[in-house]
């Protein structure tokens, strides 16, 4: 969901101790993200994560992704897609417009997710959307050796790009993507660092098409 949606939710639910914290995963840092944040004028925290630390800690492999954390600091819903679905795959790729049925699917997914947040903010632990500890643990994933190595390779690639060695960075980005192919954060960020047009260009759509029947945005089964 975009910043204005979170702002509206914050304004509505702040008396219920609801505080959204937005985190932008962007290796380009403030110069790439700050204009979007400033244009939205948010009154809730907006952070910029150049090294994708939050993504690694909370097992986030795509955006927009959310984690629900209660007042005691406990996760009540681990990493999941926040109000989006795969309808975007029917976008007109020439002019980047959405047909009416796609817009309706997006609206429905967003409304369902916002409704779940409202229910949790008001009811707390009594909300049917606040998962019990055992279910939270079942849905979480301990980082594998491949995931740790993927993160290390990705950071090396970022460092080399920052030092002006883009060609030397490519093998590290490719290795990160190979080790953790489900991470679209790695794919899109690597493309953006190499050439910003790739992140939404033919390379991106070719990778989406290569999924075949597999999901880009996994569907939440209980929202």
Residue boundaries of the structural domains of the chain: 3-139, 145-209
Mean pLDDT score across all residues of the chain: 92
Q: Which among 214, 112, 151 has a CA at the least distance from the CA of 25? A: 151
Provide the token pair at 183. 């991470």
Q: Mapping DSSP to helix (H, G, I), strand (E, B) and coil, where does residue 216 land?
A: coil
Q: What pLDDT does residue 174 have? A: 95
Q: What pLDDT does residue 1 have? A: 63
* pLDDT at position 117 over 80: yes
Angle between helices 30-40 and 3-13 (to 10 degrees): 50
Please compute the mean of the pLDDT values over residues 97-125 and round it to a whole number: 95
How would you write 27-83 as a 3-class SS string?
CCCHHHHHHHHHHHCCCCCEEEECCCHHHHHHCCCCCCEEEEECCCCCEEEEEEECC
Task: State which fold the 3-139 domain adopts.
Answer: Glutaredoxin (3.40.30)
* pLDDT at position 198 over 80: no
What confidence tens digit (pLDDT) does each residue in 35-67 have? 999 999 999 999 999 888 999 999 999 999 999
Q: Mapping DSSP to helix (H, G, I), strand (E, B) and coil, where does residue 25 land?
A: strand
Please compute the mean of the pLDDT values over residues 77-101 and round it to a whole number: 92
Q: Mapping DSSP to helix (H, G, I), strand (E, B) and coil, where does residue 85 land?
A: coil
């Amino acid at each position: 969901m975009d910043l204005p949606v979170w702002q509206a939710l914050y304004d509505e639910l702040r008396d219920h101790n609801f505080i959204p914290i937005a985190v932008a995963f962007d290796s380009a840092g403030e110069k790439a993200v700050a204009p979007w944040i400033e244009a939205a004028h948010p009154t809730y925290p907006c952070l910029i994560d150049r090294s994708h630390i939050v993504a690694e800690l909370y097992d986030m492999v795509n955006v927009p992704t959310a984690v629900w954390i209660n007042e005691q600091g406990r996760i009540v819903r681990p990493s999941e897609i926040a109000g989006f679905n795969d309808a975007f795959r029917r976008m007109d790729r020439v002019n980047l417009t959405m047909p009416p049925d796609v817009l309706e699917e997006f609206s429905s997914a967003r409304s369902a997710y916002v409704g779940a947040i409202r229910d949790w903010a008001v009811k707390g632990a009594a909300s049917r959307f606040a998962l019990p500890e055992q279910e939270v643990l079942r849905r979480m994933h301990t980082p594998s050796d491949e995931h740790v190595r993927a993160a290390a390779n990705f950071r090396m690639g970022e460092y080399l790009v920052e030092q002006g060695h883009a060609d030397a960075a490519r093998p590290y980005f490719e290795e990160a993507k190979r080790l953790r192919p489900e991470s679209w954060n790695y794919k899109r960020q690597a493309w953006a660092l190499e050439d910003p047009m790739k992140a939404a260009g033919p390379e991106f759509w070719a990778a989406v098409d290569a999924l075949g029947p597999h999901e880009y945005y996994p569907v939440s089964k209980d929202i």
